[in-house]
């Protein structure tokens, strides 16, 4: 299966199984993670105690994902 430039640019991957085709949109996942991290920063600096606890839980969750290899950090050098 070939990939088109626009799909590559938008970080979409197409996976096909016996039941059909699925689209995995990693660009949307990255945008969601960015928004969650920005919200965590706001909650840590300005939030009430329950919002701070929620932000800490999210950061701890990401750290655990990194430790277990479920999440990887990639640095683009340009």
In the prediction, which pLDDT does 76 show? 73
More confident residue, 27 or 12: 27
What is the C-alpha separation between 57 and 52, in angstroms, rounded? 9
Residue 71's φ and ψ, nearest 5 degrees, are: -140, 135
Contact (CB, 8 A) for 39 and 55: yes
**Whole-angstrom Cα distance, residue 63 to residue 78?**
26
Is 30 or 34 the better-scoring residue by pLDDT?
34
34-75 tens-digit pLDDT: 999 999 999 999 999 999 999 999 999 999 989 998 888 777
The residues with which 22 forms a beta bridge, in sequence order, are 15
Residue 9 host element (H or E) = helix 5-9
pLDDT at 47: 93
- The answer, yes or no, to whether residue 78 has pLDDT greater than 80, is no
Whether pTM > 0.75 for this model: the answer is: no
């Amino acid at each position: 299966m070939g990939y088109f430039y626009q799909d590559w640019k938008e970080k979409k991957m197409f996976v096909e199984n016996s039941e059909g085709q699925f689209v995995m949109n990693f660009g949307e996942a990255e945008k969601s993670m960015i928004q969650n991290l920005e919200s965590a920063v706001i909650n840590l600096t300005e939030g009430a105690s329950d919002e701070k606890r929620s932000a800490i839980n999210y950061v701890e969750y990401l750290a655990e994902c990194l430790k277990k290899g479920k999440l990887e950090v990639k640095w683009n050098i340009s």
